[in-house]
C-alpha cells in the first residue's frame, strides 16, 4: 500500500493540540466553524486517523514565499 503522506506532492499535515487550536483561534479572532474545511474522505485524513473536529496544520514550502501554514478543520461529508 502506498503511504500518501510520504509522497513528494503532499505537504506535511499534523493534528494540532487543543491548546494550539485555542491560540490559533484567539490570534485570528475566529471560531472553528470559520476555518477552511477538509473532508473525512480525504486520503491523508484517513491515513492520519484524524477525527471530526480535529484541526490540522499544513506546512507548504515555496521557492517564492518560503514556508507558509494552512489550517483546516476535519468535517463529515
pTM above 0.75, yes or no: yes
pLDDT in tens, 37-67: 999 999 999 999 999 999 999 999 988 889 9
Classify burial at 61, counting beta carbons within 10 Å of its beta carbon; exposed 0-12, middle 13-18, buried 19 or more. exposed
Cβ neighbours around 19 below 10 Å, total = 8
β-bridge pairing 13-15 and 66-75: unpaired
Cβ neighbours around 72 below 10 Å, total = 19
Domains of the chain: 4-75 (3.90.940.20)
Would you place residue 73 in the very low, low, confident or very high pLDDT band (cuts 50, 70, 90)?
Answer: very high
Amino acid at each position: 500500500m502506498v503511504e500518501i503522506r510520504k509522497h513528494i506532492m503532499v505537504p506535511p499535515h499534523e493534528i494540532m493540540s487543543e491548546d494550539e487550536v485555542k491560540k490559533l483561534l484567539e490570534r485570528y479572532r475566529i471560531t472553528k466553524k470559520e476555518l477552511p474545511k477538509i473532508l473525512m474522505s480525504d486520503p491523508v485524513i484517513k491515513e492520519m486517523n484524524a477525527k471530526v473536529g480535529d484541526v490540522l496544520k499544513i506546512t507548504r514550502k515555496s521557492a517564492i514565499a518560503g514556508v507558509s501554514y494552512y489550517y483546516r478543520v476535519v468535517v463529515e461529508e
